[in-house]
Amino acid sequence: MNTVEQIVEALSEVMTPSSVIVCVGNDLCGDDGAGVEVARRLKDALPWAVFDTQTVPESFLMKIVELKPETVVLVDALAFGAEPGAIMMVETKDIHGQGPSTHGPAPVAFLDVLRMMHPCRCAVLGIQPKQSEIGSGLSESVKVAVEKVAEAFRRLAGEASSD
Instruction: Let me know: does 67 contact 75? Beta carbons within 8 Å.
Output: no
Alpha helices in 43-139 (DSSP H): 61-66, 107-117
**Residue 163 maps to a domain:** no
Domain count along the chain: 1
Amino acid at position 144, single letter = V
Indicate the pTM of the whole model.
0.89
CA 23, 25, 31 angle in degrees (round to 5)? 115
User: Per the domain annotation, does 83 fall within a domain?
Assistant: yes
pLDDT of residue 105: 55
pLDDT at 100 (0 to 100)? 43
Report if residue 94 sits inside a domain: yes
Domain with residue 42: its CATH number is 3.40.50.1450
d(CA 127, CA 75): 8
Q: Which residues contact 45 (CB under 8 A, 6 or more apart)?
A: 153, 154, 157
Convert 95-123 to b/e letters by CB count within 10 Å (16 or more is b): beeebebbbeebbbebbeebeeebebbbb
Look at residue 97 in the predicted model and tell me its pLDDT: 46
Task: Dump pLDDT digits (tens) for 109-124.
Answer: 888 899 999 999 999 9
- The whole domain housing 9 covers 4-158
* pLDDT tens string 34-56: 999 999 999 888 999 999 999 99
3-state secondary structure of 63: helix
For residue 128, is it within any domain?
A: yes
Residue-level pLDDT at 24? 94
Does residue 99 form part of some domain?
Answer: yes
Q: Which residues of the chain have pLDDT under 70?
A: 91, 93-106, 160-163
